[in-house]
A and B are shown apart, each in its own frame.
Chain A
């Protein structure tokens, strides 16, 4: 085997290692830092020694209110996702299956909405919500969140519905189903993986939202997790509690990472292969 041939076999693997390293190194650093003791937080060793869960304990210290923040995040992201999904399923079905006037225009408008700078609606809504006393409420975070969650869900589901062959419904309708029945009994069950995947993506988008949650709340007990973590305070005013910030970051991120890996498998194995059989 010549040297060039050897290079040809090993170079892709070296590339893969580089890509994975690039993606995971900062995340790994977050994990390692979260497992250090406060006293050796500035260590640069690659492994924490000794491993300590001190930071994770500090995260759940009642004074930080992190449990409440997690609950707030769950409520806001959960309600946003459910509402968006409910509306988007019907709309996406119409977009993918029905012929009607202005369809392209409407779809373009819906997608355009999702690219909208969030701050453009946050500014007027902050003023409105201040006037009607909605500051520090869940609805003040859920309503603006719909502006990006709903287009996201519509767009995603439209793609999923489009991938399903028309023949599925035609067959059902020939067998005597109405369009509504065909939708309920054929399309929705078959699109379940797609709807589930869309739910995850929408949920992650809502969970990661920062600008709205930051602007619409000023009481610590109403903050969502990302806002709460960014405002973690240390023992003294001048000490940033990096350790507990990293620990909280790990706690907020790991569930998402697990969900995303799961969702990736679904996409690959999923929908089209199942429906086309």
Chain B
């Protein structure tokens, strides 16, 4: 539905090339011009408070961080011998340190973050899709499943960290089930495993819910046709289900990735601060900041920000994730392939946990 609007400034396209929405006649030129002029002023009025707030709480701190990352700690001034009250400008030293002296801790955190993101999002996607398929097949008890599946999402991450620390306690239920005495919450690879298990538990159900929403829009006839053509269940999944839920899945995975890249609460509570095996970039930056080393902390924060930005761009550019979700761009791109049904992109809120 949203694709029926033509944003001003984009070249108009004929009704024939539109993605199967013949019901909207092109607006008369005069009428639209008037509407745009009037609504422009109103839009400015309605949108500016939000933009103002976001400028204050996001843009300004980001610029501050950028500035701060170029400054060193207060301390003795080597020239005068007095304690400085301002922080000296040190240029790119904080960044240079990352590739030198402080490098080990940064790169460890960097690889932990990357490892957690890749593994958790991968597992979540597989488990989530499997859950969605199961829920899609089951006609009775769907309300029960939906109720159950929302529970991990609603549990605060901090509380789930405590819950899993209790489960992974040396005398806890996890060891009772495994039958080994594993000290899960001490340094080592098992700590990573504990974090991954807890994270996947919390977020996989929600990917499942989003994919289910995507599955429910696929018309039954498509499957009937495939069955008549003799496609096996596996081939139906691979050639019909997966391509058709791809837009919904892609956006879900993108948001999950970005969320995993800033992971903080879970490893912090489940394992603890300053543990090499699980320290993520967010934890590293927070730790440095709370120890009043603002310069390096800001440098880590800026690098994490750039990393997140890079991944987001890669998703949007390379995989064509439809971020805004109004389908305008996607509709135009796909318009000529003819009557393919668009699956609505999942709503942002549901992806963030």
Contact = CB atoms under 8 A, between A and B. Distances in A.
Among B56, B154, B264, which residue has the most Cβ atoms of chain A within 10 A?
Answer: B154
A20 to B, nearest CB: 4
Interface residues of A, number: 94
Interface stretch (A58-66, A185-193, A204-212): A204-212
Nearest to B177: A44
Contacts of B265: 210-211, 226
A127 B68 contact: yes
Interface in B106-162: 131, 134-135, 137-138, 140-141, 144-162
Contacts of B336: none
Contacts of B219: none
Interface of B is mostly: helix
Given A120-B305, A152-B348, A210-B156, 12 more contacts: A13-B138, A19-B134, A20-B149, A91-B49, A95-B47, A124-B65, A125-B61, A147-B58, A211-B265, A230-B162, A261-B147, A261-B150
Nearest to A112: B312
Contacts of B258: 115
Given A150-B50, A242-B166, A249 B348 contact: no
Interface in B255-308: 255, 258-259, 261-262, 264-265, 268-269, 281-282, 285-286, 288-290, 294, 297-298, 301-302, 304-305, 308
Nearest to B140: A13
B231 interface: no
B89 to A, nearest CB: 16
Interface string A94-108: 110011110110111
Nearest to B201: A26
What are the 5 A-B residue pairs with the smallest beta carbon separation, nearest first?
A15-B134, A226-B158, A124-B64, A100-B43, A208-B156
Interface of A is mostly: helix
Contacts of B173: 29, 44
B73 to A, nearest CB: 12
A99 B51 contact: no
Contacts, number: 298
Interface in A7-50: 12-13, 15-16, 18-20, 22-24, 26-27, 29-30, 33, 42, 44
Given A15-B138, A123-B294, A114 B148 contact: no
A52 interface: no
